[in-house]
Amino acid sequence: MIAMVSPFKLLILVSFLFMTFSINVLSQEDLEERVYDYAEDNHQCFKCHGHKTFHFYNEYLEREVKKRMNPYFIIDSVKYYESNHWNFGCLDCHSYDYRTFPHAGELRMEEKPSCLDCHGGDEEYAQYHFEQMDEEFHRSVHSTKHSEDFTCWMCHDPHTYKINARTNENIKQTIIYDNNICLSCHADIGKYQLLSDNMNPNVLVSHEWLPNQALHFASVRCIECHTEINDSILVAHNVQTKDKAVKLCVECHSQNSLLMASLYKFQSLERRNKLGFFNAAILNESYIIGANRNIYLNIASFVIFGLVLLVIFGHGILRIIKK
């Protein structure tokens, strides 16, 4: 009797598992199906801001001249159209006066919109808890030390920011994406010193106590050790001073790893909802201790187990028929 139900149930489970690993990712087809309402308008800006050099008609010289673009003002159009704000015109956030070149000097003073200007109090984005993120951020070391100068845009590049933690099924990519946000300053003296006159501490040296540093930086995010865990938001935003950072190995290398409440939070919530207790057990087994067990090997073992049961079941039926 058990053998009659199990293979079927297992196969359903297996197909469920495959489904949960293939959700949410923006495919090439999705991208191609998008209608880019502002592509033509934006092209007027990308003509110059999308390239290392640009051309314009110099009225004094009465001829076309070619100039270098300030590298900080170059925007990658491919990344722009893959970002969260892909369906925006440049002029939704920037002044209409930018349509003329040379741009008027006073435009440098233009007020930039903040995340909360658009997302604050909007039901559609309730799942992100923007207000709470704002609160957390304002308690962080970055905001308390640099108040007005350190905005959300410092980490969320207005032209390329794309959510990962909740949409990208490839955790390694999310780790790289998120760590690059921090390293864009902590490994770049120029950007760091836009905000601080202090020397930028070398993060490779400050983490020498961590064995196999390269593997750790590829397997966990900076925020795992540097933020205060918060249960109600997916990505904790209160980056604390270095004396509060996680240094104890067992915080991660244990059954009750902090990674389940941070890096693997989305996965553990999602899959527990979809598959119930059974899958929580798989998660524990595959992620907590090593964090590097291959999930596909786990799936493969279920498939093989299912097939074995099927063969036994089929064999049993055949014997009954023969009798």
Residues 173 to 232 in contact with ligand HEC, rule: CB under 6 A? 174, 177-179, 181-186, 191-192, 195-196, 198, 201, 203, 206-207, 210-212, 215-217, 219-220, 222-226
Quick one: which of 7, 10, 80, 288 contacts ligand HEC (CB under 6 A)? 80
Q: What is the rounded distance in angstroms from the CA atom of residue 232 to the CA atom of residue 17?
A: 26
Using CB under 6 A as the binding rule, the residues of this chain from 102 to 141 that contact ligand HEC are 102-103, 108, 112-113, 115, 117-119, 128, 130, 133-134, 137, 141
What is the size of the binding site for ligand HEC (CB under 6 A)? 103
> What is the C-alpha radius of gyration for the chain, rounded to an integer number of angstroms?
26
User: Among residues 220, 239, 218, 219, which one has the least CA distance to residue 228?
Assistant: 239
Handedness of CA 204, 210, 214, 216 (dihedral sign): negative
CA-angle at 49, arms to 112 and 91, nearest 5°? 40
Please, what is the minimum distance in Å from the beta carbon of residue 227 to ligand HEC?
Answer: 7
Q: Using the minimum distance from each CB to ligand HEC, give the nearer residue, 72 or 277.
A: 72
Using CB under 6 A as the binding rule, the residues of this chain from 12 to 51 that contact ligand HEC are 42, 44-49
Residue 85, C-beta contacts closer than 8 angstroms, at least 6 positions apart: 158, 159, 161
Quick one: which of 142, 171, 260, 283 contacts ligand HEC (CB under 6 A)? 142
Q: What is the rounded distance in angstroms from the CA atom of residue 124 to the CA atom of residue 54?
A: 40
Q: What is the rounded distance in angstroms from the CA atom of residue 190 to the CA atom of residue 176?
A: 21
Using CB under 6 A as the binding rule, the residues of this chain from 264 to 323 that contact ligand HEC are 290-292
Please, what is the minimum distance in Å from the beta carbon of residue 2 to ligand HEC?
Answer: 36
Q: Is 260 in the site for ligand HEC (CB under 6 A)?
A: no
Please, what is the minimum distance in Å from the beta carbon of residue 147 to ligand HEC?
Answer: 11
Residue indicated by tokens 């933690």: 165
Please, what is the minimum distance in Å from the beta carbon of residue 168 to ligand HEC?
Answer: 7
Please, what is the minimum distance in Å from the beta carbon of residue 232 to ligand HEC?
Answer: 11
Using CB under 6 A as the binding rule, the residues of this chain from 145 to 174 that contact ligand HEC are 145, 152-156, 158-159, 163-166, 174
Assess contact for 236 and 223: CB atoms under 8 A.
yes
Quick one: which of 13, 14, 234, 303 contacts ligand HEC (CB under 6 A)? 234
Assess contact for 226 and 245: CB atoms under 8 A.
yes
Q: Using the minimum distance from each CB to ligand HEC, give the nearer residue, 207 or 310.
A: 207
Please, what is the minimum distance in Å from the beta carbon of residue 196 to ligand HEC?
Answer: 4
Q: Is 87 in the site for ligand HEC (CB under 6 A)?
A: yes
Residue indicated by tokens 């350190």: 150
CB atoms within 10 A of CB 17: 21
Q: What is the rounded distance in angstroms from the CA atom of residue 316 to the CA atom of residue 287?
A: 37
